Amino acid sequence: MRRTGRRPGNPDTREAILGAARNAFAEKGYDGASIRAIATSAGVDPALVHHYFGSKDKLFLATMNSPMDPLELITEAAAGDRSELGVRFVRLFLQIWDGPAGAAGVALLRSTVGNEWATKMFREFIITQILRRAVPKLGLDEAEGQLRVTFAASQMVGMAMARYVIKVEPLASAPIEVVVAAIGPTVQRYLTEDLPGVFDGTGAGG
């Protein structure tokens, strides 16, 4: 395996694109940043950006060092019996985080809350890579879907924090299937079940 060393004035193209993309996403947000402008800023042809990263989504995920493509996770979880959606999603999520990609996930979460810029990028990540894709992929009602998915995301972010970042026991060492049995039904309920008081404007009462 021969790796090309970096030389002044001839930086690694992939890194140059990633650097330009990070700046563009940070300044203009996901929607405002264009592949064309990123390519210009990196001094390369737009076709090269597509060649290296495939799509704007993939480029964005690469700038964030995301441990996974949420679209793949959502697509895989969506395939199968709808009543087991939550359990499948949580199981896939934990399998990724318990595996070699977990360290990247922890780094992402850590950087996310470290400063305002990173927090804004993580918000864009949730909006563009999770909310926008999950609502149609999961066949959720347009009016309710966004809030349902943010509730599910709150549980998954909290699980990642508690199990992988804070590492609080006995949760941190619990077998995957134990965690799936506990929070799978939570995610299922948030995504597909009746939520009295949430969409009818009455609140929880009491």
Q: Is 103 in the site for a copy of itself (CB under 8 A)?
A: no
Q: Taking a C-beta distance cutoff of 8 angstroms, is the pair 157, 106 a contact?
A: no
Q: Which stretch binds a copy of itself (CB under 8 A): 9-17, 85-93, 96-104, 134-142?
A: 85-93
189, exposed or middle or buried, with CB in 10 Å at 0-12, 13-18, 19+?
Answer: middle
Please count the other Cβ atoms lying within 10 Å of the Cβ belonging to residue 111: 16
Phi first, then psi, for residue 3 (nearest 5°) are -110, 140
Q: Does 132 bind a copy of itself (CB under 8 A)?
A: no
How many of the chain's residues bind a copy of itself (CB under 8 A)?
Answer: 59
Among 10, 113, 117, 136, binds a copy of itself (CB under 8 A): 113
| Integer Cα distance of 135 and 151 in angstroms | 13
177 binds a copy of itself (CB under 8 A): yes
Judged by CB under 8 A, which of 37, 98, 176, 192 binds a copy of itself?
176
* Cα gap 197→167, rounded to integer Å: 33
- Is residue 8 near a copy of itself by the rule CB under 8 A? no
Q: Does 204 bind a copy of itself (CB under 8 A)?
A: yes
The binder of a copy of itself chosen from 40, 102, 171, 192 (CB under 8 A): 171
CB 41 within 8 A of CB 69: no
List phi, psi (to 5°) of 180: -60, -45
CB of 63 to a copy of itself, least distance (A): 17
Nearer to a copy of itself, 47 or 178 (CB): 178
Report the C-alpha gap between 92 and 76 in whole angstroms. 8
CA pseudo-torsion sign 194, 142, 155, 74 = positive
Binding residues for a copy of itself restricted to 184-203, rule: CB under 8 A: 184-186, 189-190, 195-198, 202-203
Residues at the site binding a copy of itself, with contacts judged by CB under 8 A: 84, 87-88, 91, 109-110, 112-114, 119, 122-123, 126-127, 131, 146-147, 150-151, 153-159, 161-163, 165-171, 174-178, 180-186, 189-190, 195-198, 202-206
